[in-house]
Amino acid sequence: KGLPETKTFWGEVVGTGAVTATIKIYGARTATATNGVLVATLSPSGTTTAVDSATPSFAVYPYYYVVFENITGTGATVRAEVFY
């Protein structure tokens, strides 16, 4: 098929007041969420709602997993999505 299609990794943190998060996205060859290769790091930061996205990626992995770190903000929730 030629080159793989690009993927855009996107992340959001929502809470009250100042909100931040670190979102790390890993590619892996197995379904186990360990020993993956770091594909993207997102750092949304702002007030109430913040978003960030990574440069489109051609990384080809059968599995991806996400790690959320450094979450701040009252009642903050974090999510990550990938767009093909």
Mean pLDDT of 6-31: 96
Write the CA distances from 51 to 9, 20, 30, 62, 72, integer angstroms: 11, 9, 29, 26, 14
Amino acid letter for position 43: S
Residue 59 — pLDDT band, cuts 50, 70, 90? confident
Check whether 45 has a pLDDT greater than 60.
yes
pTM of the model: 0.91
